[in-house]
Structure 1
Amino acid sequence: MMMTRYRKNYPNLSVITRVYPSCSDSDGPAVRQVWRTDGNLKEHYGRNDNQQFFNRGGYRSFRNHSHWRAKPPRQLGPCGRFPGGSVDGSNWRGDGQTERGRGGNKFKNFGRGGAWRGRQKGGRGGPIFRITIPRAKKYRQHWLISSLQTHSPIPFKPLHYCTSGQSVHFYVEDEAAASALRRLSRKITDSEGYKVVVFANPCSSFPVQQTSLKPEDLKHLKKCMSKRFDVSQKCLDLSSIHTDPTLVSQKIQVTLNKNNCVKAVLAIIEENIPALSSLNLSNNMLFHLNALADLVQKTPNLKSLNLSCNELRSEEELNNLKGLGLVELWLDRNPLCDCFDDQTSYIRALRERFPRLCKLDGHALPPPISFGIETNTVLPPCKSSYVVSDEIMSVIQRFLQQYYSLYDSGNRQQLMNAYHDGACFSISLPPLTNPTRCMLGEYHDDNRNLKQITDSSTRIRNLKRSRLNVVAFLNELPKTQHDMSSFTVDVNTYTNTLLAFTVSGLFKDGEARVIGGSKQSVRGFSRAFITVPAPNSGLCIVNDELYVRTASSVEMQQAFKAPPAPTPSSSHPASTLSASQQEMLSAFSRCSQMNLEWSQKCLQDNAWDYHRAAQIFTDLKEQGKIPEAAFIK
């Protein structure tokens, strides 16, 4: 009846008999009949889901599928970076193959990192696998491992055999071996007739405990490293050190992703191989390089480093090795290689950390772009101010003296003649986290920093227009005192009808504010003036932009320190200088680079006429008539 009904709905229905091998040799073969159609490879219930999760009644059955099922190793071929070449036994993939849903390779010449690829024989770069056998603590380790190795079609090497409760755990580094071990579940029978259950799960690292190595362990480690050291090449090969037979036979766990093991290895290198030039750390499951930061001090001559086939996921890890003068570096088959879009960005990121790098992943790099300047070249000293000529500097100096003498006088209404009828003025402040507690709180309401003020009405309100509004607003600002000796001037634009310059320096409020128990009144400023010629051979301000900031601790210490009194010469007896003369003397000394004694002499000889003294100084300097002693400070 059932067959007749099914044949009416599915005319191509047929019965297939499948023979399944039994789990033990004593049981007979299992025979199961499966209904299917000959037309489509589709379940007879019309479902498109994965048929292994459906029982014969059409309901989901997760029996025998509740544990992780290892996939068979993909036939990917050699995994590498370079087309047509072979570096460390690796080649590139052919066209048309995709990885993780992505088509083709990211890099034409450098390939992908490949940390997710399956661990085939001789290959690295994928996750390790934890093998768990429940209720296996009662078994002898030799019997259990030998039974698994006998029945497994793929050879494997168990790593870090341990027990947890009644279960046994060990690790393998081969995906194919892990899949084969999982398929051995319930196929091995112990002496009591119980089936041995095997689970396999991927994991990221070995859970090695941070136990210090014993003195006898260090002796074996030192002996192992001596066998791996090439004296002629000064090369130390520590690749896959955790699987070294010498250490495994002594049950010594040396895993270089643990700090205690790294410190022990670096101590041996520092004591016995200080001139090490090449180090191979491939295939060591390195996730971080923090513990290897001491390589910079302990191996100053290291030129070649191999970090391939590890688990480094971020390029920032390489900052721990930034001080090494590496010439050769291997990083292929690390997850961090997948973080770069192309070969250029890959090379650039590494050369930022290792400028002398000439070889990457076994391939020569193009020569770095440099300016051709030797490292010992002495650069010219930085000038405090930049002016077009001494004539322009004298005009600006005269303008600043007049302007700030009125600005600091307390009555700023006298600045009315300094501004044009259509002049504009604005104040900008740096970003403030707490304006009410900040030293610049008095200026906060008038801040017009366009990066912070986005409201158009506030921008318009805080821009002061016309001469009357500008001077009225300046008169409302806090009283100030400027340190003329701290001024630096940079001329931006100079024509016959326009002069734009920026003056920077220090000032303090008339009333110091007390913050944290100390007076904090010194502030820095930068002021950009755009001026046009005035009828009285002066300057008229068209645009004025003031930027106010807090002063640094160094600036606070140096602010408002009067210059030392100049040593009087024989022809010019000492005289008491006024405040304006002190400021002129300081400015002239800074611009001429002469010391204060010779600067005072030049100004006094020219009746303290700054412009005339500057012109005479320029003429005498061009003629070479100023002695070298005038420039000794």
Structure 2
Amino acid sequence: MSYRGRGRGGFHNQNNFNNRNNNNNQNNGAFGNPQNHQNQAEQFAAQNSVPIEIVGWNGASPAECISFISRKCRVAVSNYNVDPGSGILKGYVKNQNDAATLMNWNGVKFAGQSLKFSKVNVGSQVQSATTSNAIEVITNFLKSRYQPDIKLLNLTNVKSDPNLSAQGFFGSISTSSKFFPALMKVAEDNKLDVLSVDLSANELSDLSSISTLAHTFPQLQNLSLMNNNFNKLKVFETWRHKLNFLRELILGGNPLLANQTNPAEINKIKLELMKSFPRLVVLDGEILRNEQLLSTTLSLPFTGSTSMFFQDEEIRNMSTNFISNYLKLWDGNRGDLMILYQSESQFSIQVDSSHPYLLDTTTTTSYSNGGTDFGNYLSNSRNLTRVSSIKSRISRVAIGQEQIFKAFNQLPKTRHDLMTNPDLFSMECFRFPLLNGIMIVIHGSFEETAQPETDPNANNAQNGPRGRFNHPKHKKPALSKKSFDRTFVVIPGPNGSMIVASDLLSIRPHAGKDAWNTVAKVPAAAIASGTASPAPVAPVGVPQRVPTPADLPQDIKANLNPLQQELLVKILVETKLNMQYSIMLCEQSNWDYQQCTINFKNSAATLPREAFAA
């Protein structure tokens, strides 16, 4: 029988069509609901395959890694995904034989890194890692490994501890990666005072699993990473500018140094480690540099608490190291500073010749006789209240290394007594999220020691008034002591370096340090009564007694330890808060001085009048 005559309707049967449609709806196939299809596939894979975990794949994309495993190891990995929390690549292989094959390929090189495969034993994944029982196990482990007399935390070969293994912390890569952060959290909660940590023999090849160490122990001085698997120098960039007090590092038994025979390469490794850890003095028992000289160079001996503000401890370390080295080079050899500036970096100066602090008849500023001479700065000053021309405003911004170096040479030689007289300086340092950098503002004074290498008024002198013998009449400005304000925006550069994105220098007449070092003394009697009001001005030469914890009311001292008592007195004196609000500030800041300072600055404007002492 021929079907020609039926045309398109030859197979059109309404009943059959409805039946097929109903079947499709009941089966809810791949095109009916893609999500269900995916869920079914994952369930099937979980029931009929072996789950695995892969680390060390980050040198390329997950798809490229899976393709590499298929080509190199002859094993297909399906339904793979990346755990967003741990960054571990997870997937499934067909059977236990394929899983065993992958285990034999542990250490295979992919995209410059070593792959590590782990079989996930679903039945043994312990979910109690976040329970109170697990916390108790970690706490007991820390107590057994902590030596308070020498402030040492011994974390050698932690996987060998039977209690940790029984708890299931090392059952898979996923649970292992969560153990160390949990360990650091418990150590932080227990307020362990640690200066030395031993992490020997823990099969470490990078710092990904132990990165939180720098946050928990930022004051760490001694660290042993002996007998691990570190073979690349770049892994230490994770801790760059974080362990700024690390003095001694042990790397013996790691391929990084054990496999090196070229003295030049060994010296390169040492130099890079010293850049990552600015106070590193000893490496594997070898003294790398003069510790006393290093301490003098890097230490910033600020003692006045009111003259300094740092957003956090990391900012404190980075900014003080930066400023102490920067001003040393500024006074010594400004050419060496050019490494900090790039093609888009900017620098400008401005003269503030009428600072309100000095508006009196004895210190009125002028540019000739009787006042501070700013002749070396005026030709390049970009004071926007004085320079109105758009063209002049634009031309007085130095952009790029060449222009900035030229501008530096047009400024007088200087001397900043930062190391010998730190009380002459004040700093505020905080994060600058817009550029992922930090902002450093420093105030202080300097002494001009010599005229600029390049005369900033040379061009003007060519067309200026001429003297008796028809030579340009140009008198060099007098050198003197001046005050300054300087604002840096510093951003991270390649290989952990620092780049100055913006540098603003303001020059003004010498004004001293009273703006940040005058602190009203509070009488001890006011502390005892809880009404810390400023004391009357004492006669010259009659010192006033500084209040101590002994002046606190007895009922308050009974509830505070000695350190808390000292902090409370300090807060009463510096903030002028009354006793109630001072205690409240300390409690809400966890009795941490830096946090008290930050919280007070953030909320001072909103506090009621009665919060302050009468």
TM-score (structure 1 length as normaliser): 0.31
Q: Tell me which structure has the larger Cα radius of gyration.
A: 1
TM-score (structure 2 length as normaliser): 0.32
